[in-house]
Structure 1
Amino acid sequence: MRFIQIDKEQQNVPVVKNVIYAIKLCWQADKKLLIGYLMQEGMFCVFSFFIRNVLFLKILLEIITGNRDFATYVRALLAFAAVSVLCKVVSFWGMKMEKRATKNILKVLNNKVFDKAQSLDIACYEDPAFYDKYQRATLVLTSGYFDIICYDLASIIAEITSVICVFATISAINPVYLLFLVPVFLVFVIETAKSKYVYKRDMEMTTNNRIKAYVQRTVFLREYSKDMRTSNIFAVLMKRFEAAIDSNIVILKRYGVGLFLYSMVSSLFEEFIPIIGSYLYAGYEFVVKGNLTVSGFSVVLSSINSVRDVTLDITDCFDEMNQMALYFQNLREFFEYEPAVTSGSKKPKPFESLEFKNVSFKYPSADKYSLQNINFKLTKGETLAVVGINGAGKSTLLKLMLRFYDATEGEILYNGVNIKEYELEPYRNTFATVFQDYKNFAVSVFENVMCRPCTDEDKAFAENALKNSGAWKKINTFSNGGDTVLTREFDENGAGLSGGENQKVSTARLFARDFDVAVLDEPSSALDPIAESEMYDNLTRVTKDKTVVYISHRLSSAAMADRIIVLDNGNIIESGTHTDLMANGGMYSEMFTLQASNYNKEAIENE
């Protein structure tokens, strides 16, 4: 099991810059979160660490040792009670403000992440490094790190304020005591280094955690359940799961000693020197020199304990903020990511032609070209079939056509203009596409077809589209018809569909759209021959006078095409009509003859 390589840039992320970025992001989303925490923590820290433990104690001891009257003592108690009630009221309103703001920020940041995800290049989803970064970025939301960093900042501000008040009280008694508190400031340096050390450990564990999450998720997904129970794949997955756990254990052990040493050194400067040193000196002044009063001695000891408690809290918050800031680095990089496929400024006009000129393409992480020197021109009203065996480059051709990727070499022209010059979304909307790896969603059948909340008019339109795709016969058997939610994941009255029926629902999206060009990538891969024939008949009828591109390794659609392109190993090896290619006796002829014989065998067996 591999470990993630941590580069120099990741080890030296700008913590302060990321803290500022995180707070700014939260402030822009809802400033009430930080304000609410400041109200809560400010009242709590100043009251607990200074007013109650130091100031009020000092006043009471001075009243007692100074032989003041009982009325003065009562007035001090009433003042203390009034301040206590005020702090509770302010903290309560701060808590209400913070709770509401937390939900609002989660909504705002989630929407921001979703919007950004929609703008990412398709290449990002085929890059494991991207998924590692994306997972670490989404931890900010799923683990509530934005809430934690605001809480920590508010706590640090409140605790520093209370420490300043305590320091002022101690220095009034004897400034020497401040010297024993100097080592406390070294703790922040140590904890900063410790946070980066923990972050580096977590970075190395990210891929292993992603593998664990994948296995945990897959076990509960319906589409994997049959294969899990009819093969030994579960054992393979469990082996990877256990290997990921073992790898994490190795990482934890490797970092364990270092974290222990960080903690020991931190405790030395955080507790041992400040507390033992100040206690010894206070005892010496009180017992030996006799120049420290009982109230002064008590206040010094209470102040040192308060400073210790505050320091522990500040250290924890500071340590936590450092870690949160390192994770916000991933979120910041995610938001700052600029797609390689960028939108142009021209609006596409109605389709006239699409031309590939000397197009070659290689995936970013690949050594070999997936397409090489592709040349062809598609004109309005033409039906083109792109065929070839699996891995020939057919789907890659589609990705370039839709600008999911840009060509490595050559250019693609839409109406004679390079497609890079067009606005991205309007350009893609000129194509109605049915993908090979089709997906339906856990919403109603009608919403799956129309891809929007449906009016009664939309539902009627979607029903007609489902009839054209061949899915309506099945959908109509459901008690709620087209309003039935696909899958029972969120609705107990939902329905599951077979692979073929799911593909028909996906294909219905094409029938429900007004389009210039229809692109069908393996549109019948999950259909039986009869359903396939019916679907193609409907496609032929609906796409009459339209431009259509069929991409398939099944050749039943090719015979009806005006022109056929045969891809092999990323190259166009044949081009022509069905009749021409059958006469040539090349790869197309061999493939078509073999598939035809298989269909004949199936027909005989069915009889």
Structure 2
Amino acid sequence: MGLLGLQVGLGVAGTLLATLQNAARDLLGDTLQNRIHRRILEKAAGLELAHFENPKTYDALLGATYEVGSRPLGVFTQLVALAQAVLTLSSIGFLMSRLGWAVMPLVLLASLPGVLVASRFGFENYRMIRRRAPEARMQNYLAQVLVDDDYVKEVRIFGFEGYVLGRWQEVYRKFRAQLVPLVYQRGAWGFAASLASAILIALATLQVLARAAAGRISVGDFALFAQGIVQVQGTFSSLLGGLSGIYQNLLYMRNLFEFLELPARNLDTGEEWKGPIHSVEFQDVSFRYPLTEREVLKGVSFRLERGQSMALVGENGAGKTTVVKLLTRLYEPSAGRILLNGQDARRYSPRSVQKQISSIFQDYARYALTARENVALSRIEEQANRAGLEQASRKGGADEVIAALPEGYDTQLGRQFNRGLQLSGGQWQRLALSRLYFRGSSVLVFDEPTAALDAAAEFEVIEALRQQAKDRITLIISHRFSTVRLADVIVVLEDGRVSEQGSHEELLRQGGTYATLFRLQARGYQEQAEGQGKL
């Protein structure tokens, strides 16, 4: 009874230890996955804008997130398995040493071919995945086109679902063309490895049989060999496979480290800017984007004072948005200086300067969050400030939009989530404008602020803009001259250079590029008005 109780107790203890081990492994895996994902997101949050305009960054990001949870945990579990395998081999090897000096080495060598083949093709698989990172991103993008709300309407109307599916399948076929020969080679080499292992085991068996025939080992020793050979081979294979697995996991983790080692810009480096910005001056500013040779801006100079508004005019690619990126410290000039209140902007940390700048871009973001968050993200620590939210919403023209929502400011927006409501383009833009006003900055930047608005809404926004510009510096980029003409100063950019500068009336009198563009647009409006009802 005592032995039975001991056996039951050992069984229960073993089960308990296995349960605890599994639970610890699951919890450790979850913790590792969370921490590594956080590291990746923290790194991404600290990268300069230039990184996100370079496709190599997205390849690195894809590699960093590939099996990010399983690889580090795999290294840890394989290290534990290695320790267990070494202990098992030591004990069994001692027992099998009586069967002959060549038996144990032959059994161990029999495990080697399979592990070598697995290691080689594991590395080849890693190389294939790294090579096809751009294609994998393209395949993911094509899948997104078929399911994302931003694309689905146009896809359905033009009916090119089949084309997108075909492109998706074409990318897959390229991957398949690389995978098939790799699988065949792995199978052929695996078969050869199995043959080699079988021959080595046969040699070890002959050694044992010869000793048995000579009467130098007992029936019990032969039984030990029969049972031990399987365990030794399996344990040694696990040992070598663990070493190979650690190497392969470290290869994949190398992708993670490559991403984490990308140079990041510390936005808090420099002196802290304090107080409002009263003047902005570009002094002979030139700029070229990283890894390019073309200068987007060439010797651009202008000055703005508090209470002044300036409009940037020019064809697409003239450099207007680049001026905004430099002003908002997303980039630094390649040459020249940007002065804030007469001081070189480089002296101050980008983050502290950006607190005094509020902007809305032409490709404004549509956050699938609540209406409150969509307005408050520009100063998220103040999202409980209901009076401030309502005031900003009125200035941006979003107050009526929010009032019509079923839960007001707490309504979930975007169809990606349950009970989420989709807004029109103009409604989203009103929220983006309200977000700009909620910031309460001394510099306002508008990149096509009325692009998605109808005429009545545009008038309201422009009136609000004029009120806000009275005690701030305002920079406007727009193709609508009804908006541009309200600016105190208009700067015309052509091929990255300032070709004209002055008020609306001054530029009309000069009869240059601005006057030509203005008259073309005015004539277009007039012809449209005369032709109403004829479409």
TM-score by length of 1: 0.81
Q: Does 1:95 align with 2:50?
A: no
Question: How far does the alpha carbon of each residue in 1:26-66 deviate from its partner, in whole angstroms, 9 at most, with x for none?
Answer: xxxxxxxxxxxxxxxxxxxxxxxxxxxxxxxxxxxxxxxxx
Verify the 8 A CA contact 1:356 1:412 in the aligned structure 2.
yes
| Matched letter for residue 437 of structure 1 | D
Q: Does the residue aligned with 1:556 lie in a helix, a strand or coil?
A: helix
Identify the residue that residue 223 of structure 1 maps to in structure 2: 150
Q: Does the residue aligned with 1:390 lie in a helix, a strand or coil?
A: coil
Verify the 8 A CA contact 2:52 2:58 in the aligned structure 1.
yes
Identify the residue that residue 287 of structure 2 maps to in structure 1: 361
Whole-Å Cα distance in 2 between the matches of residues 196 and 364 of structure 1? 33
77-86 or 116-125, larger mean C-alpha shift? 77-86
Q: Does the residue aligned with 2:358 lie in a helix, a strand or coil?
A: strand
Question: Aligned residues, how many?
Answer: 530
Question: How far does the alpha carbon of each residue in 1:147-174 deviate from its partner, in whole angstroms, 9 at most, with x for none?
Answer: 3333333223322322222222222554
Question: How far does the alpha carbon of each residue in 1:398-450 deviate from its partner, in whole angstroms, 9 at most, with x for none?
Answer: 11222222222333233333333321211222210111110121111011100
Alpha carbons of 1:351 and 1:265: their partners in 2 closer, same or farther (altered >3 Å)?
Answer: farther
Whole-Å Cα distance in 2 between the matches of residues 98 and 252 of structure 1? 32
Question: How far does the alpha carbon of each residue in 1:188-224 deviate from its partner, in whole angstroms, 9 at most, with x for none?
Answer: 5554433222111112222222111111112111111
Q: How does 1:200-239 map to 2 (within 5 A)?
A: 200-239=127-166
Question: How far does the alpha carbon of each residue in 1:512-533 deviate from its partner, in whole angstroms, 9 at most, with x for none?
Answer: 1221211111111111222112
Verify the 8 A CA contact 1:201 1:255 in the aligned structure 2.
no
- C-alpha displacement of 1:535: 0.3
Identify the residue that residue 293 of structure 1 maps to in structure 2: 218
| Matched letter for residue 536 of structure 1 | I
Alpha carbons of 1:450 and 1:487: their partners in 2 closer, same or farther (altered >3 Å)?
Answer: same
Q: How does 1:170-569 map to 2 (within 5 A)?
A: 170-183=96-109, 184-185=111-112, 190-264=117-191, 266-268=193-195, 271-286=197-212, 288-339=213-264, 343-349=268-274, 350-451=276-377, 457-492=384-419, 494-569=420-495
Alpha carbons of 1:205 and 1:565: their partners in 2 closer, same or farther (altered >3 Å)?
Answer: same
Whole-Å Cα distance in 1 between the matches of residues 214 and 317 of structure 2? 90
Identify the residue that residue 68 of structure 1 maps to in structure 2: none
Verify the 8 A CA contact 2:269 2:348 in the aligned structure 1.
yes
Q: Does the residue aligned with 1:543 lie in a helix, a strand or coil?
A: helix
| Matched letter for residue 238 of structure 1 | L
Q: How does 1:155-166 map to 2 (within 5 A)?
A: 155-166=81-92
Q: Does the residue aligned with 1:211 lie in a helix, a strand or coil?
A: helix
- C-alpha displacement of 1:470: 1.4
Question: How far does the alpha carbon of each residue in 1:279-323 deviate from its partner, in whole angstroms, 9 at most, with x for none?
Answer: 22222222x112111221111221110022223434444443333
320-329 or 179-188, larger mean C-alpha shift? 179-188
Whole-Å Cα distance in 1 between the matches of residues 383 and 107 of structure 2? 73
318-327 or 517-526, larger mean C-alpha shift? 318-327
Whole-Å Cα distance in 2 between the matches of residues 503 and 361 of structure 1? 29
Whole-Å Cα distance in 2 between the matches of residues 434 and 481 of structure 1? 23
Identify the residue that residue 525 of structure 2 maps to in structure 1: 599
Q: Does the residue aligned with 2:137 lie in a helix, a strand or coil?
A: helix
433-442 or 228-237, larger mean C-alpha shift? 228-237
| Matched letter for residue 568 of structure 1 | E
- C-alpha displacement of 1:508: 0.5
Q: Does the residue aligned with 1:363 lie in a helix, a strand or coil?
A: coil
Whole-Å Cα distance in 2 between the matches of residues 254 and 367 of structure 1? 41
Whole-Å Cα distance in 2 between the matches of residues 154 and 111 of structure 1? 26
Whole-Å Cα distance in 1 between the matches of residues 240 and 386 of structure 2? 60
Verify the 8 A CA contact 1:520 1:549 in the aligned structure 2.
yes
Q: Does 1:132 align with 2:86?
A: no
Whole-Å Cα distance in 2 between the matches of residues 502 and 406 of structure 1? 30
Verify the 8 A CA contact 1:140 1:146 in the aligned structure 2.
no
Whole-Å Cα distance in 2 between the matches of residues 403 and 262 of structure 1? 57
Q: Does the residue aligned with 2:284 lie in a helix, a strand or coil?
A: strand
| Matched letter for residue 593 of structure 1 | R
Whole-Å Cα distance in 1 between the matches of residues 261 and 58 of structure 2? 16
Identify the residue that residue 122 of structure 1 maps to in structure 2: 49
438-447 or 175-184, larger mean C-alpha shift? 175-184
Whole-Å Cα distance in 2 between the matches of residues 182 and 503 of structure 1? 69
Verify the 8 A CA contact 2:81 2:242 in the aligned structure 1.
yes
Alpha carbons of 1:257 and 1:491: their partners in 2 closer, same or farther (altered >3 Å)?
Answer: closer
Whole-Å Cα distance in 2 between the matches of residues 401 and 265 of structure 1? 65
Question: How far does the alpha carbon of each residue in 1:213-272 deviate from its partner, in whole angstroms, 9 at most, with x for none?
Answer: 111112111111111012254344334212211211222234345434543454456x32
Verify the 8 A CA contact 1:121 1:339 in the aligned structure 2.
yes
Whole-Å Cα distance in 2 between the matches of residues 206 and 264 of structure 1? 31
Identify the residue that residue 151 of structure 1 maps to in structure 2: 77
Verify the 8 A CA contact 1:341 1:406 in the aligned structure 2.
no
Whole-Å Cα distance in 2 between the matches of residues 397 and 341 of structure 1? 21
TM-score by length of 2: 0.91
Verify the 8 A CA contact 1:191 1:266 in the aligned structure 2.
no
Verify the 8 A CA contact 2:507 2:515 in the aligned structure 1.
yes
- C-alpha displacement of 1:577: 0.9
561-570 or 496-505, larger mean C-alpha shift? 561-570
- Unaligned segments of structure 1, at least 5 residues: 1-70
Verify the 8 A CA contact 2:46 2:265 in the aligned structure 1.
no
Alpha carbons of 1:268 and 1:338: their partners in 2 closer, same or farther (altered >3 Å)?
Answer: farther
Q: Does the residue aligned with 2:485 lie in a helix, a strand or coil?
A: helix
Whole-Å Cα distance in 2 between the matches of residues 461 and 535 of structure 1? 18
Question: How far does the alpha carbon of each residue in 1:76-110 deviate from its partner, in whole angstroms, 9 at most, with x for none?
Answer: x7766544433222111122222223222222222
Q: Does the residue aligned with 1:511 lie in a helix, a strand or coil?
A: helix
Verify the 8 A CA contact 1:188 1:318 in the aligned structure 2.
no
Verify the 8 A CA contact 2:288 2:334 in the aligned structure 1.
yes
CA RMSD after TM alignment: 2.6
Q: Does the residue aligned with 2:295 lie in a helix, a strand or coil?
A: coil
Alpha carbons of 1:185 and 1:79: their partners in 2 closer, same or farther (altered >3 Å)?
Answer: farther
Alpha carbons of 1:527 and 1:413: their partners in 2 closer, same or farther (altered >3 Å)?
Answer: same
Identify the residue that residue 572 of structure 1 maps to in structure 2: 498
- Unaligned segments of structure 2, at least 5 residues: none
Verify the 8 A CA contact 1:344 1:421 in the aligned structure 2.
no
